[in-house]
């Protein structure tokens, strides 16, 4: 039922229907107020009315906080989101209600941010915002006409890094790791190069997942969610057998933050520039191909579901193929 009242030369309209939040709007003319009220009532009766009131009251910052509290802790990327989301919440555009958040506001943020960080960083941030809004629309019952973050085109990212370690750099790196106060650092780096495992996979690996007799390691907590079995070389077996036992049953008793700290120290000590920990995986996969492993064999070890992703590791040249013809 609609109620229309005149207040200070304007017509205040309120629609009350059981099961729905009261709708209010003010008009200059009585006929406009009456027309609006009838339209709202008609849509509700037909079941076509969509209530956007909550999206008018909820800010993006509210959604980010809820996502951090309820969703992020269940994700593998929690460590990153625990840092990223509070940083996003510091920005002015997150104070807008999600109904009034426009693509222009996101573009303005993106362009200013681009002065300080890489396109790939911005793409990850916008993707996270999009995931938060999608969660609100699909599972939290907050109605929105569309996901504004999906209107933005992804920025073009530079070509994938293909930095390889030279033999001299490798020796300097291993030596620098051996000098570290973190006794786990050198063996961890060596195992990374022997197996191609990701940082998170290495840090979550426990001794009960290692079968020294079969020379395999079972990874149940991987980036793509699928478990896989890693063959262990003789060198990898030797390293594992000589590792000290840890109280937490982890193969490497070192936290991610400590690893970052001591890894950076080792790079500086070895005077190696432009090489991040993840590139150990690239180096390992490149070495697999150099040993003559096929793409399916490498995919089994690396866990790549799309084998096309492995082509950038092969470094094939026409001269190499010619030798086989």
Predicted local distance difference test score (pLDDT) of residue 254: 87
**Lookup: tokens for 76:** 């593998």
Q: How confident is the model at residue 21 (pLDDT cuts 50, 70, 90)?
A: low
The catalytic position among 67, 99, 109, 313 is 313
304 is catalytic: yes
Q: Is residue 157 part of a domain?
A: no
Based on the fold, state whether residues 36 and 96 are members of the same structural domain: no
The catalytic position among 6, 43, 223, 249 is 223
Predicted local distance difference test score (pLDDT) of residue 188: 95
Based on the fold, state whether residues 80 and 124 are members of the same structural domain: yes
315 is catalytic: no
Predicted local distance difference test score (pLDDT) of residue 322: 61
Q: Is residue 158 part of a domain?
A: no
172 is catalytic: no
In terms of C-beta density within 10 A (0-12 exposed, 13-18 middle, 19 or more buried), how is residue 185 classed?
buried
Is the pLDDT reported for residue 201 higher than 80? yes
Is the pLDDT reported for residue 30 higher than 60? yes
The catalytic position among 198, 199, 209, 282 is 198
Based on the fold, state whether residues 308 and 215 are members of the same structural domain: yes
The domain tally of the chain equals: 3
Based on the fold, state whether residues 73 and 34 are members of the same structural domain: no
Predicted local distance difference test score (pLDDT) of residue 169: 94
Based on the fold, state whether residues 108 and 137 are members of the same structural domain: yes
Q: Is residue 162 part of a domain?
A: no
**Domain encompassing residue 111:** 57-151
> What are the residues whose beta carbons fall under 8 Å from the beta carbon of 37, sequence distance 6 or more?
2, 4, 13, 15
49 is catalytic: no
Predicted local distance difference test score (pLDDT) of residue 181: 92
313 is catalytic: yes
Predicted local distance difference test score (pLDDT) of residue 256: 86
The catalytic position among 65, 105, 135, 304 is 304
The catalytic position among 278, 291, 305, 315 is 278
Boundary of a domain, candidates 151, 177, 206: 151
Q: Is residue 160 part of a domain?
A: no
Average pLDDT score over residue span 174-188: 93
Based on the fold, state whether residues 224 and 253 are members of the same structural domain: yes
Predicted local distance difference test score (pLDDT) of residue 41: 77
Based on the fold, state whether residues 88 and 183 are members of the same structural domain: no
150 is catalytic: no
CATH (domain of 112): 1.10.150
Residue that has been written with the tokens 């939290």 in this structure = 140
Based on the fold, state whether residues 102 and 173 are members of the same structural domain: no
Q: How confident is the model at residue 79 (pLDDT cuts 50, 70, 90)?
A: confident
Boundary of a domain, candidates 151, 182, 214: 151
Predicted local distance difference test score (pLDDT) of residue 162: 67
Based on the fold, state whether residues 81 and 130 are members of the same structural domain: yes
Q: How confident is the model at residue 264 (pLDDT cuts 50, 70, 90)?
A: very high
CATH (domain of 242): 1.10.443.10
**Lookup: tokens for 41:** 């009532």
Low-confidence winner among 14-28, 239-253, 310-324 (lowest mean pLDDT): 310-324
Q: Is residue 159 part of a domain?
A: no
Q: How confident is the model at residue 19 (pLDDT cuts 50, 70, 90)?
A: low
Predicted local distance difference test score (pLDDT) of residue 1: 65
Q: Is residue 156 part of a domain?
A: no
pTM of the model: 0.61
Q: What is the 3-state secondary structure (H, E, C) of the chain?
A: CEEEEEECCEEEEEECCCCCCCEEEEECCHHHHHHHHHHHHHHHHHCCCCCCHHHHHCEHHHHHHHHHHHCHHHCCCHHHHHHHHHHHHCCHHHHCECCCCCHHHHHHHHHHHCCCCCHHHHHHHHHHHHHHHHHHHHCCCCCCCCCHHHHCCCCCCCCCCCCCCCHHHHHHHHHHHHCCCCCCHHHHHHHHHHHCCCHHHHHHCEHHHEECCCCEEEECCCCCCCCEEEECCHHHHHHHHCCCCCCCCECCCCCHHHHHHHHHHHHHHHCCCCCCCCHHHHHHHHHHHHCCCCHHHHHHHHCCCCHHHHHHHHCCCHHHHHCCC
Low-confidence winner among 21-30, 189-198, 256-265, 293-302 (lowest mean pLDDT): 21-30
Q: How confident is the model at residue 148 (pLDDT cuts 50, 70, 90)?
A: very high
Boundary of a domain, candidates 117, 151, 185: 151
Residues 270-305 pLDDT 10s: 999 888 898 999 899 989 988 888 888 888 888 887
Based on the fold, state whether residues 181 and 294 are members of the same structural domain: yes
Bridge-partner residues for 225, per DSSP? none
**Lookup: tokens for 71:** 């969703």
């Amino acid at each position: 039922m609609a109620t229309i009242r005149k207040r200070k030369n304007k017509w205040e309209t309120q629609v009350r229907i059981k099961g729905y939040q009261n709708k209010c709007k003010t008009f200059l003319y009585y006929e406009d107020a009456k027309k609006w009220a009838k339209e709202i009532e008609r849509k509700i009766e037909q079941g076509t009315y969509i209530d956007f009131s909550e999206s008018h009251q909820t800010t993006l910052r509210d959604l980010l906080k809820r996502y951090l509290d309820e969703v992020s802790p269940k994700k593998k990327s929690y460590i990153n989101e625990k840092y990223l989301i509070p940083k996003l919440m510091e920005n002015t555009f997150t104070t807008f209600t999600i109904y009034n958040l426009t693509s222009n506001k996101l573009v303005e943020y993106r362009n200013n941010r681009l002065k300080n960080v890489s396109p790939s960083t911005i793409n990850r941030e916008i993707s996270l915002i999009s995931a938060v809004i999608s969660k609100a629309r699909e599972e939290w019952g907050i109605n929105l006409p569309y996901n504004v973050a999906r209107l933005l085109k992804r920025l073009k990212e530079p070509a994938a890094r293909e930095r390889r370690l030279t033999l001299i750099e490798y020796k300097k790196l291993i030596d620098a790791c051996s000098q570290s106060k973190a006794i786990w650092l050198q063996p961890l780096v060596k195992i990374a190069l022997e197996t191609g495992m990701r940082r998170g996979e290495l840090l979550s690996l426990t001794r009960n997942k290692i079968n020294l007799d079969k020379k395999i390691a079972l990874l149940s907590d991987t980036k793509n969610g699928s478990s896989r079995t890693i063959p262990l070389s003789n060198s990898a077996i030797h390293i594992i057998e000589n590792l000290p036992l840890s109280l937490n049953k982890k193969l490497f008793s070192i936290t991610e933050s400590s690893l970052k700290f001591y890894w950076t120290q080792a790079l500086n000590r070895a005077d190696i520039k432009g090489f991040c920990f993840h590139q150990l995986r690239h180096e390992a996969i490149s070495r697999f191909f150099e040993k003559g492993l096929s793409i399916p064999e490498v995919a089994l070890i690396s866990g790549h579901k799309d084998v096309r992703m492995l082509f950038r590791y092969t470094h094939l040249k026409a001269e190499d193929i010619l030798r086989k013809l």
